Structures are given as structure tokens and as C-alpha cells.
Amino acid sequence: MDVWGSLLDGFATAATPANLVYALVGVLLGTAVGVLPGLGPAMTVALLLPVTYALEPTSAFIMFAGIYYGGMYGGSTTSILLNTPGESSSVVTAIEGNKMAKAGRASQALATAAIGSFVAGTIGTALLVLFAPVVVGFAVSLGSPSYFAIMILALLAVTAVLGSSRVRGFSSLGLGLAIGLVGMDYTTGQPRLTFGVPLLADGLDVVVVAVAIFAVGEALWVAAHLRRTASQIIPVGKPWMGKDDWKRSWRPWLRGTAYGFPFGALPAGGAEIPTFLSYVTEKRLSRRPEEFGHGAIEGVAGPEAANNASAAGTLVPMLSLGLPTNATAAVMLAAFTGYGIQPGPLLFDREPELVWALIASLFIGNALLLLINLPLAPAWARLLQIPRPYLYAGILFFATLGAYSVNLQSFDLVILLTLGLLGFAMRRFGLPVLPLVIGLILGPRAEEQLRKSLQLSSGNISGLWSEPVAVVVYVVVALILAWPLVARVVRRRPATDASALAAIVHPTSDGRTDADPSTTPERSEARR
């Protein structure tokens, strides 16, 4: 397959005036919603999903590409100007970014974040173009046993590696798998967990579940703990950077990209670890390490690039294997299935036009983002002042509208509220949301592969490890499960940078820096 030819075709599809408008609308909506406090990228995508439903798939995904990067960028603006990161991936950006903003350098912080995001997003998308076909080429040779093993790995990795408390991760996974069971069993036609309710026979709409857990759960949770004192918002002019800022930024951008992309592409990579690594690296390499903690531009440039590159990396397993590795990718996967499109190795063969148009729009969206965000930054910053009652009532309003408009039945709203309350309880008791969503999406597909595998081996359990790839993956799974023991040995050694960083990050992060359990021994111990 000629990759570059396909990509050019993709650009031809994506660059029609109508599709450019969709990309622009996507970028604007994504940034606007992403800037709003309390709305992370996953929630942004979940809330805006219904808007794309009426469009034909190609246009919808072009808009989606814009929403994806727009939501990511919007989140970093919020964390720089408010110093209260909405999602764990912008925790690190907030450390130096907010210090810079307080020192009157908000414009430079926003500029290095925007340009760094652009650089990292462009390089990351180019790497996606290079790697996705390679992964696809490898993936088409895999059979059901290997797929089942890879899905088990993804489920376990998201559950056990991310997050600080394993039991809470597994609890969340169990709930997600149980929700995924609801509906007709596709092989035997048996209704499972439907309790005779015909509306449940088709299973729960993934979009409704995602909106419930992300948007309704979050809105109720914030409502219960709404900060009554207005937070300090730093006024901002048009972002710009001086010569010195450029000189200090470009290397961190590239290094951040190098960290972010591979981690994003791994089943449990996510953006937390690479942003931490980037921060530590920049601090060590900086000629002015004393500035760190007081607003060093390298500390914004590196992690922000890592964050965006990881977002691009996430798309490699998402598009080529159909494996979501973070919440945003999970919601996007739900959108794909909503169109009857099954991401995976066959996607590149069956829907080449759609995939390459999507990838081309990632490039276009990224460029639009830079063009729009630099001049519009002051306007975005004003969005931060929206009265909180309107903001959270608005989230509930649009969540309801979105969930209702999928099927136009009030029964979906009952589900929305029930699962929203579940999302509320999970936030209250520190159950991570991600394993639930990934379990809900991957659970049914893993079951399908399990049954296919054992069908091939006529019920012989050894059929599960009949392929070499499956064996390798199970070894990795075993290592992940054994990690706490390994970590205990590693911890004995004097911790250096990791614990130093944890010490910096802890006070600012509201206890959400659960990126790497091994860096926070006392906390993870306490919760286990």
C-alpha cells in the first residue's frame, strides 16, 4: 500500500470547502468546550458526539479530528490560567504554566503551549502515518487467540498500571464489564441482564453510558463540592514569544514529542508518564534549573508537547487494532461503532477513504488550531469566567439533549441518571472511570474473540495460547500482575528524581497524580 498516495487522497477528501468548514467548526467547538473548566477532552468528545451523528461518516470524522485536538488544547489553556488541572495529563503543564502566568508571562506560556502542541501534533500525526500501516500489516496476520490476549493486556494495563489503587481499578473494570454484558448474546440470542425489559435487549448505548459517566457524573460531583469562592483568573493578551523563548522552547518540544508518542501508543501509556518524564528531563538539562518551580518556559513546552504527541500516539492502536488506551480514544471508538464502522486492521482496507481523510484532517485541524488559538486566546480566557451554575447546568442540559437525541426515548434518560449517579459515587470513592469505559467497550469484543478461539480449538483451553504472539502477550500480562512485587524491590533503592518530582507535584494536584505507582510509595501503600 502506498502510504503517501493514500495520504494525498485523504487530503483531497478533507480539503474540500465543506469539509474544511467541518474541521473549523470542530476545532472551534472542541476548544470552546475544552476550555470550560471541568470539561476534559473525553467529556468534550462525548458531549459533542451527537452533533456529528447527522453528518455522513467522513465529514463527521473530519469534525471529530478538530474536536479531539481542540479539546486537548483547550484543557491546557485552563490549567495555565487557573492552576487547577482538569485532567491528570495537564497536571505537569500547570506547575510551571501557572507560575509563568502569575509572573505576567501568561502570553508566553500560552504561546509555547500552542506552538508546542502544533509541533508535537504534526510530528505525532506523521509518525501515525508511518506506523499505523506497519501495525496493520502485522495485525492482519493475528488470529482470535492473539486478539483475545491483546485485549486482556489492554484491559489489565489500563486497570493495574494506571491509577494508584488496584482494587479500585479492578472494581471499576468489573462494573464496566457487567454493563457491557447487558443485552442479547450475539451467538446464542440469549438476553443477558435485561430483566425482561425489551428496551435493554439491544444493550446499553455506549454513547449514553459515556455521557452518563463522564458528563453527568462529573457535573453532579462538582455540584456537591462547588467551590464558592471564585478562582483567580489571570487576564491574558495575545500570545507571543520573544527570541529567547523560542530558543528555550524548541528543544523541549522535540524531546517532549519523543517521549509522548511511544507512550501514547502503548496499551497503558497515556499522557501522565511522558509528561512527568519530560518535566524531569527538562529540569535536568536546563541551564537555569533554579527557574523551575518559578515559571520556567521549558517546563511548559516539554510536557505540553508530550501531552499532544501522546494523543497522536493513542490513535495508532485505536485505528490499527481497535484498541482504545485512554478515555478520549474510548469515546471515539464508540463513535466509530455508532456509524457501524469497526476499527481494526481491516479498517484500512475497507474504509481507506475515511481513515486517510481522518488522518489528513488531523494535520489540517492542528494547523487550524494554531491559526485560531493564537489570536483568540483572550476570548477563550473569558470563557473561564462563565458563572458556575450556568456551566454545570449547561453540562447536564447538553448531556440530556445528547443522550435523548440518539434514540428519542426517555428511557435513555433513566439510564443516564442511574449511571450518572454511579459516576458520582465512583468519583467520591476514588474509583477510576477509565477502566469502566474501556471494559464496557472491550469486554464484549474480548468475549467474541474468546469464543472464536475456543471454537477453533473445539473447546480445548490450550487454543488460547496457540499463537506465538498470544504467548508473548500473556508473559507481559504476568509481568504486569507481578509488578507490585517488582516495585517493592525497586523501591528499596534510594529514589532520586521520581520522588523529588512527586514532592513538587503533590501539593498542586489534589491527590490525582497517580501516574506511576512506584513514584508514590507511601500513598499507594496506604490505599492498597
What residues numbered 191-210 form the site for other proteins, per CB under 8 A?
192-193, 195
Q: Could you say whether residue 102 binds other proteins (CB under 8 A)?
A: no
3-state secondary structure 286-329: CCCHHHCCCCCCHHHHHHHHHHHHHHHHHHHHHHHHCCCCCHHH
Binder to other proteins among 408, 485, 492, 494 (CB under 8 A)? 408
CB of 65 to other proteins, least distance (A): 19
CB of 123 to other proteins, least distance (A): 29
Residue with cell 447487558: 182
Binder to other proteins among 7, 15, 178, 201 (CB under 8 A)? 178
Distance, in Å, from the CA atom of 18 to the CA atom of 121, rounded to the nearest integer, reads 23
Distance, in Å, from the CA atom of 192 to the CA atom of 447, rounded to the nearest integer, reads 14
Residue with cell 494508584: 164
Which residues are registered as beta bridge partners of 184? Answer: 191
Residue placing its CB nearer to other proteins in the complex, 139 or 206: 206
CB of 150 to other proteins, least distance (A): 17
Please, which of residues 216-235 interact with other proteins by CB under 8 A? 218, 220-228, 231
Q: Could you say whether residue 521 binds other proteins (CB under 8 A)?
A: no
Binder to other proteins among 405, 466, 499, 518 (CB under 8 A)? 405
CB of 276 to other proteins, least distance (A): 18
Distance, in Å, from the CA atom of 88 to the CA atom of 432, rounded to the nearest integer, reads 12
Please, which of residues 348-387 interact with other proteins by CB under 8 A? 387
3-state secondary structure 391-424: HHHHHHHHHHHHHHHHHCCCHHHHHHHHHHHHHH
Please, which of residues 431-470 interact with other proteins by CB under 8 A? 431, 443, 447, 450-451, 454-455, 458-459
Range in contact with other proteins (rule: CB under 8 A) among 13-21, 46-54, 61-69, 256-264: 46-54
Crossing angle of helices 298-321 and 57-82, in 10° steps, is 150
Binder to other proteins among 12, 167, 197, 285 (CB under 8 A)? 167
Distance, in Å, from the CA atom of 340 to the CA atom of 308, rounded to the nearest integer, reads 28
Task: Please report, for residues 61, 255, 285, 501, the alpha-carbon distance to residue 280 in angstroms, rounded to integers and kept in the order given.
Answer: 36, 11, 9, 7
Residue placing its CB nearer to other proteins in the complex, 413 or 476: 413
Q: Could you say whether residue 168 binds other proteins (CB under 8 A)?
A: yes
Which residues are registered as beta bridge partners of 409? Answer: none
Q: How many residues bind other proteins (CB under 8 A)?
A: 84
Binder to other proteins among 102, 251, 491, 512 (CB under 8 A)? 512
**Grid coordinates in use for 442?**
472491550
**Grid coordinates in use for 15?**
480539503
Please, which of residues 226-285 interact with other proteins by CB under 8 A? 226-228, 231
Residue placing its CB nearer to other proteins in the complex, 109 or 431: 431
CB of 297 to other proteins, least distance (A): 23
Distance, in Å, from the CA atom of 355 to the CA atom of 395, rounded to the nearest integer, reads 31
Please, which of residues 295-354 interact with other proteins by CB under 8 A? none
Q: Could you say whether residue 215 binds other proteins (CB under 8 A)?
A: no
